[in-house]
Amino acid sequence: MIRLGLTGGIGSGKSTAAAAFRKLGVPVVDADAVSRELTAPGGVAVPAIREAFGTEFVTEDGAMNRAAMRERFLSDPEAKKTLEAILHPMIRAQTEALMEAAKDAPLLVYDCPLLLEKPEWRKAVDQVLVIDLEPELQIERTMARSGLSRESVEGFMARQLPRAERLAAADHVIYNGSDPKTLEESVELLYNELTSEP
């Protein structure tokens, strides 16, 4: 099995690429989905979040209060590290279990936004695929998709790994400056390349 790490900046098209791999029958382990599951109502991370941050950071239905957490991050930079210390080991354990369950597949995709920011996450994969896009297009697409202001999107981008560093760490790069169909076709080409017999 080849474990292919999938990453890219905000608005680059990672989700579209992941969906294209799924259409080809490739198992996709989504780190963000695992994180949402851990912090959803009744999620296993919620008690530790309540203990570390207080009851106001848990909603009435027992989920992490994302709005309150975002506000806390703005006023307290250490809060993000505290939350990551709770969540990241749980995400790693869960994603490893999901990867192990799919071990008979010839190719597995690990969709992880922080893949290159965290060395221990990079070690979980054999190769890295970066979905790439010019920064201006990233901003336009993210604003259109999420309704965020340009300043907010630029703020997110400033906290992510610089584009040049992402590209330098990539084994494969798919440029996503066109349309979703072109991205799907590029994913299929890479899939054929990775799964064809040597």
Q: Is residue 62 a known part of a binding site?
A: no
Number of structural domains found in the chain: 2
Are residues 118 and 194 both part of a single domain? yes
Q: Is residue 11 a known part of a binding site?
A: yes
- 60 vs 75, residue with greater confidence: 60
Are residues 58 and 107 both part of a single domain? no
Q: Is residue 9 a known part of a binding site?
A: no
pLDDT, tens only, 126-160: 999 999 999 999 999 999 988 888 988 888 888 88
What is the domain extent for residue 20? Answer: 1-27+102-198
Which residues are within 8 A (CB) of 35 and not within 5 positions of it... i.e. 6 or more apart? 87, 91
Specify the pLDDT at position 74: 77
pLDDT, tens only, 65-99: 998 998 898 788 899 899 999 999 999 999 999 99
Q: Is residue 152 a known part of a binding site?
A: no
Query: What global pTM score does this model have?
Result: 0.89
Are residues 84 and 116 both part of a single domain? no
Q: Is residue 155 a known part of a binding site?
A: no
Are residues 62 and 117 both part of a single domain? no
Are residues 121 and 178 both part of a single domain? yes
Q: Is residue 13 a known part of a binding site?
A: yes
Q: Mean pLDDT throughout 170-186?
A: 94
pLDDT at 198 over 70: no
Are residues 195 and 118 both part of a single domain? yes
Are residues 81 and 148 both part of a single domain? no
Are residues 20 and 49 both part of a single domain? no
Question: Within 10 Å of residue 121's Cβ, how many Cβ atoms?
Answer: 21
Q: What is the dihedral of CA 12, 140, 153, 150, to 10 degrees?
A: 170
